């Protein structure tokens, strides 16, 4: 081994932190543990049978072509289908706005790569998706958090933050927002809040990165318009993915962004992976054209709807009054707020002993806050386990309240 391996690693690699969630998940591997900790879609929702025939038909009809490299932007037909999907909901966009990525996680990485220099400020919600925070921090971003209320990031506190930064001569690179069924809170921003935030982005001349992996998984309420759609002034870059509506193992996501931004992103992607696997893109094209897509998505929505209802009902029955939680209209997560003086990390260790697990909310707070919060996933665990798990969790919290 060379003498100074540590000093040989790049600044970026030294910026990388091991994901706190992965460390937590390691402790939840025991199959006896009922885990609300992960963020996995239900495997029952994956369209295995439909894919079986799509893949064999495809190989028979198209042969080697599906195994070849393709354009960095993505296979044109898939990009066209994705553009069509947005146009169908009234979004003005065209092919030049659409790039296929290797999961939306690559989208986050590429956004970091093209915008963030060491020390640049990026604004995010308190709390916010850890994988987004880590992707930006890897390029040296200094994350500044803005508290959320029941409608998402507070516009008032965002403006206060933008003024504070401006007074220090700092212009943030972008505001990172997950407007629909946010990870980790499950909160959705109504249109009025989206518009307020877009107005602030215009006033302070800052980009918005809207990350929408859960958008299509809505059980209740009205779909909200994309911030990209509400803006129409090239201030918004939208990330999407098939992970929650088709198959996460496909690693297909996309970026819907202004042409000038996308031009830079394509060049950055070239040196990252040349192109997203052609094979899975071609399968996705056939899958979208087959009509199974909508049918299977509806099944997924119905399954998660029912799982969320079971979880909420059980929490209502068993949680002590001092515990509050969100009521997501879709997505995969809900968020619990414990009394201020209760430490979710201490509860976590007790919970593991009682064979139930969650993710402590503090990992999603870039300011080190959130010690009395926790994230629960409701998409993965079946109803029977969810009922037993929530009862165990409620007992543990109840015992803590009594101390
Ligand atoms: N953004 C958010 C908010 C997420 O929750 C996730 C994954 N859970 C991702 C991006 C990454 O998803 P993928 O790379 O599978 O598209």
Ligand 1 within 6 A of CB of 326: no
> What pLDDT was estimated at residue 362?
96
Q: What is the mean pLDDT of residues 144-158?
A: 98
- Is pTM beyond 0.90? Reply is yes
> What pLDDT was estimated at residue 25?
79
- The structure tokens listed for 394 are 């409620």
Q: Cβ(140)–Cβ(118) under 8 Å?
A: yes
Instruction: Quote the CA–CA distance of 134 and 39 in Å, as a whole number.
Output: 16
Instruction: Quote the CA–CA distance of 229 and 239 in Å, as a whole number.
Output: 13
| DSSP string of 31-83, one letter each residue | TTSEE----PPPGGGS-HHHHHHHHHHHHHHHGGGGGS---TT--HHHHHHHH
Note whether ipTM > 0.95 here.
yes
Q: What is the pLDDT of residues 192-206, one digit of tens each?
A: 999 999 999 999 999
On average, the pLDDT of the chain sits at 96
From the list 345, 349, 325, 275, the residue with the least C-alpha distance to 72 is 275
- The structure tokens listed for 304 are 């998660």
> What pLDDT was estimated at residue 299?
96
Q: Cβ(255)–Cβ(99) under 8 Å?
A: yes
Q: What is the mean pLDDT of residues 334-339?
A: 98
Ligand 1 within 6 A of CB of 241: yes
What length does the chain have?
403
Ligand 1 within 6 A of CB of 178: yes
> What pLDDT was estimated at residue 384?
96
Q: Cβ(45)–Cβ(303) under 8 Å?
A: yes
Q: What's the CA-to-centroid distance between 250 and ligand 1, angstroms?
A: 13
Report the DSSP pairing between strands 152-153 and 236-241.
unpaired
- The structure tokens listed for 228 are 């990209």
Ligand 1 within 6 A of CB of 248: yes
Q: For a pocket test of ligand 1, which of 21, 127, 213 has the largest count of ligand atoms closer than 8 A to its C-beta?
A: 213
Q: Give strand ranges (E) for 26-92.
A: 34-35
- The structure tokens listed for 76 are 């044109």
Q: What's the CA-to-centroid distance between 169 and ligand 1, angstroms?
A: 33
Ligand 1 within 6 A of CB of 243: yes
Atom of ligand 1 nearest to the CA of 106: 14
Phi/psi at 267 (5° precision): -65, -40
CB atoms inside a 10 Å sphere around CB 6: 6
> What pLDDT was estimated at residue 27?
76
Beta bridge partners of 125: 146
Ligand 1 within 6 A of CB of 129: yes
CB atoms inside a 10 Å sphere around CB 258: 18
Q: What is the pLDDT of residues 267-294, one digit of tens each?
A: 999 999 999 999 999 999 999 999 999 9
Q: What is the pLDDT of residues 7-39, one digit of tens each?
A: 899 888 887 877 777 777 787 788 899 999 999
Q: What is the pLDDT of residues 359-372, one digit of tens each?
A: 999 999 999 999 99
Ligand 1 within 6 A of CB of 152: no
CB atoms inside a 10 Å sphere around CB 113: 21
Q: What is the mean pLDDT of residues 129-152?
A: 97
From the list 384, 303, 372, the residue with the least C-alpha distance to 340 is 372
What is the biggest distance separating any 2 CA atoms in the chain, rounded to whole angstroms?
A: 67
* 103 confidence band (pLDDT: 50, 70, 90): very high
Q: What is the mean pLDDT of residues 66-87?
A: 98
> What pLDDT was estimated at residue 12?
84
Q: What is the mean pLDDT of residues 72-101?
A: 98
> What pLDDT was estimated at residue 2?
87
Q: Considering only 14-23, 94-103, 217-226, which range has the smallest mean pLDDT?
A: 14-23
């Amino acid at each position: 081994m060379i003498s100074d391996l540590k000093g040989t690693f790049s600044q970026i690699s030294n910026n990388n932190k091991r994901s706190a969630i992965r460390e937590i998940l390691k402790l939840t591997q025991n199959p006896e543990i009922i885990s609300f900790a992960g963020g996995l879609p239900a495997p029952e929702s994956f369209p295995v049978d439909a894919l079986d025939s799509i893949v064999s038909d495809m190989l028979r009809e198209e042969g080697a072509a599906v195994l070849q490299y393709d354009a960095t932007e993505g296979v044109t037909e898939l990009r066209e289908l994705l553009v069509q999907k947005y146009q169908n909901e009234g979004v003005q966009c065209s092919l030049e706005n659409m790039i296929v990525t290797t999961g939306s996680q690559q989208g986050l990485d590429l956004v970091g790569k093209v915008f963030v220099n060491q020390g640049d400020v990026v604004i995010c919600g308190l709390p916010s998706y850890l994988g987004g925070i880590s992707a930006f921090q890897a390029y040296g971003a200094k994350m500044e958090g803005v508290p959320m209320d029941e409608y998402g990031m507070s516009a008032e506190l965002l403006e206060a933050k933008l003024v504070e930064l401006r007074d220090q001569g700092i212009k943030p690179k972008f505001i990172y927002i997950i407007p629909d069924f946010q990870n980790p809170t499950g909160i959705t921003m109504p249109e009025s809040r989206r518009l307020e935030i877009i107005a602030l982005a215009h006033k302070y001349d800052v980009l918005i990165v809207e990350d929408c992996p859960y958008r299509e998984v809505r059980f209740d309420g009205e779909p909200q318009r994309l911030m990209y759609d509400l803006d129409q002034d090239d201030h918004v870059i939208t990330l999407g993915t098939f992970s929650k509506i088709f198959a996460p193992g496909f690693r297909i996501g996309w970026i819907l962004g202004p042409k000038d931004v996308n031009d830079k992103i394509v060049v950055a992607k070239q040196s990252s992976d040349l192109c997203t696997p052609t094979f899975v893109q071609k399968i996705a094209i056939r899958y979208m054209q087959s009509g199974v897509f909508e049918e299977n998505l509806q099944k997924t929505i119905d399954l998660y709807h029912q799982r969320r209802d079971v979880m909420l009902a059980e929490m209502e029955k068993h949680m002590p009054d001092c515990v509050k939680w969100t009521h997501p209209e879709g997505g995969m997560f809900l968020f619990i707020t414990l009394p201020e003086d209760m430490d979710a990390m201490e509860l976590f260790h007790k919970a593991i002993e009682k064979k139930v697990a969650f993710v402590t909310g503090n990992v999603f707070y870039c300011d080190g806050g959130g010690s009395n919060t926790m994230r629960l996933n409701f998409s993965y665990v079946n109803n029977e386990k969810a009922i037993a798990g929530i009862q165990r969790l409620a007992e543990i919290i109840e015992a803590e309240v009594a101390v």
